[in-house]
Structure 1
Amino acid sequence: MRKFFTVIGGMGSLATESYVHLLNERTPTKNDQDYLDYILVNHSSVPDRTAHILDHSKPSFLPPLTEDIKQQSALNPEFMVIICNTAHYYYKELQAATDIPIIHMPHMAISVMKKQYPNAKRIGLIATKGTIADHIYEDEIKNAGFELSLGNQEIQDEVESLIYDDIKIKGQVDAKKYHKILQTMHDKFDCDVIVLGCTELSLAQEKAPDHPFKTIDGQSIIVDKSIELGEKIRNGETIDYNKIYG
């Protein structure tokens, strides 16, 4: 297979399944051959990202992801995407391990947000403790010129419960809990837009989109970008990866 891309997933598997579902659903097709060519790596045994970020004595997820990147690089994909926001903690190290472009999901998400909501002032961020601690989204949001709110501990506990208790453990989305989190970020913390900084939250958005709040879903955005780039490489177009965020 030539002219394909690689998806590094499994962190978690349900979130990766959501990415693949949206990718196939949104790709314009008339027959089997219109779907995009890609390789999916569902590396579910990668150590917990948040646990390592909060305590570096815990197993690191960098070595197994680096191995994945190098294995896939040998197959010569056109680009790669990593379906886990928190894993971007080691983005620089992972990109340094290959000449294949790795699309930076948080950077892509905030670039889109800046265009979509240029008049927004305060941006809410809901994510795992690991993503909060590594400042990936925080730095992107502030560098884009927006104010940031992380809510409070009560909100963080609710977010963690939705991500881990409901989605990762039970394999289900608590729509009521998800909507309550969004409403609290909007009403109590004056957030104009709420960034979903975890792919499990992206799954929640896919399953429970019936709410009035403005959200930025990095996984949904990277799906659209994967389709855009995938169709370009299929057509033999040259892509300047330095300009895809602009």
Structure 2
Amino acid sequence: MSAGPGGRIAPEDWSAQVVGVLGGLGPAATSVFLDILVRATDAASDQDHLDLLVSQHSTTPDRTARILDPAAPDPGIVIARDARMLERAGATLLVMPCNTAHHFVRQAEEATTAPFLSIVELTAEVAARRVGAPASAGAGASAGGGAVAPVAVFATEGNVRAEVYQQALEQAGARAWIPSRDLQDRVNAIIYDQVKAGRPVDMEMFEGCVAEAIDGGAGTVVLGCTELSVVYDQQGLRGDPRLTDSLTELATATILAAGKQVSPAFRPA
């Protein structure tokens, strides 16, 4: 690619919005995110697609490990460095296709001036609308004053422990439905023992987890870990009305924020 002084991209060769992707958290999820961006963009030629700078930093310290143990290596420092690198290279908009890493996003925001699209806030707002909880009504209340169904959060142990989605959903006017210990263990197994480990996904287990949340009163299930988004995208679950997929919400918001349009043929979450 063309580069200016200091390795920065030559602006005249790139679109007005260059999206910097803080990836590798995990690698498969970033790959799926990039694929969704291509499939979801309304484009008739190569030049109609988004311009991206991608950091696939797979060796970033584990996010959940740091949340559960403050003595573990800090991924926030690494994410902030990568955000600075992308901005210096020419990124004008930053995205991070990882939900648990949102816990460390403040460090990246403080290290850069480029706007940052939050996968968690975007997804929480969509999920809140789906259960009929307008933000102005307060957490768990409908416009008419009655209670609305909560939003089930399927995410990593660290995400749940840090209350990443609980806080975002409250801000969006909804309330979180948190899995029981047994259900969380099964969600963890799908995330770590199957998707992250590169092993086949037990779809019977996945379906059982979703059914348990819906039967337990949840109005929608947020796939609040991008490894679960990999399952959603690759296992033909796109369009399942029970599910709100975080990776899809980030991808479609990124397309719009970059000045493009979402393809009418793309099936949303």
Whether TM-score is above 0.5 comes out as yes
- 3-state SS of paired residue (2:22): strand
- 3-state SS of paired residue (1:191): coil
Q: Which of 205, 225, 250 matches 1:222?
A: 250
Distance across 2 between alignment mates of 1:206 and 1:61:
27
Q: Which structure's CA Rg is the greater one?
A: 2
**1:244 matched to which residue of 2?**
none
Bigger mean CA deviation after superposition, 1-10 or 41-50: 1-10
- What's the % identity of the aligned pairs? 27
Q: How does 1:194-213 map to 2 (within 5 A)?
A: 194-208=221-235, 209=237, 213=241
**1:243 matched to which residue of 2?**
none
The letter for the 1-side match of 2:244 is: I
1:66-119 C-alpha deviation (Å, 9 max, x unpaired):
110111111232201011101111122210111111111101111222334316
**1:70 matched to which residue of 2?**
84
**Contact residue 62 and residue 75 of structure 2 kept, 8 A:** yes
Distance across 2 between alignment mates of 1:93 and 1:229:
22
Distance across 2 between alignment mates of 1:113 and 1:139:
13
Pairwise CA distance, 1:197: 1.1
Q: What TM-score, normalized to structure 2?
A: 0.81
Q: How many residues align?
A: 232
Q: Does the alignment pair 1:104 with 2:132?
A: no
- 3-state SS of paired residue (1:83): coil
RMSD: 1.8
Change in 2 beyond 3 A, CA 1:174/1:210: farther
The letter for the 2-side match of 1:206 is: D
Stretches of structure 1 that go unaligned for 5 or more consecutive residues are 234-246
Stretches of structure 2 that go unaligned for 5 or more consecutive residues are 1-12, 134-147, 262-269
- 3-state SS of paired residue (1:231): coil
**Contact residue 127 and residue 159 of structure 1 kept, 8 A:** yes
- 3-state SS of paired residue (1:74): helix
Pairwise CA distance, 1:210: 7.0
**Contact residue 109 and residue 216 of structure 1 kept, 8 A:** yes
Distance across 2 between alignment mates of 1:169 and 1:132:
21
Q: What TM-score, normalized to structure 1?
A: 0.88
The letter for the 2-side match of 1:227 is: I
Distance across 2 between alignment mates of 1:64 and 1:97:
11
Q: How does 1:17-28 map to 2 (within 5 A)?
A: 17-28=31-42
**Contact residue 9 and residue 82 of structure 1 kept, 8 A:** yes
The letter for the 2-side match of 1:193 is: T
Q: How does 1:24-173 map to 2 (within 5 A)?
A: 24-118=38-132, 120-173=148-201
- 3-state SS of paired residue (1:169): coil
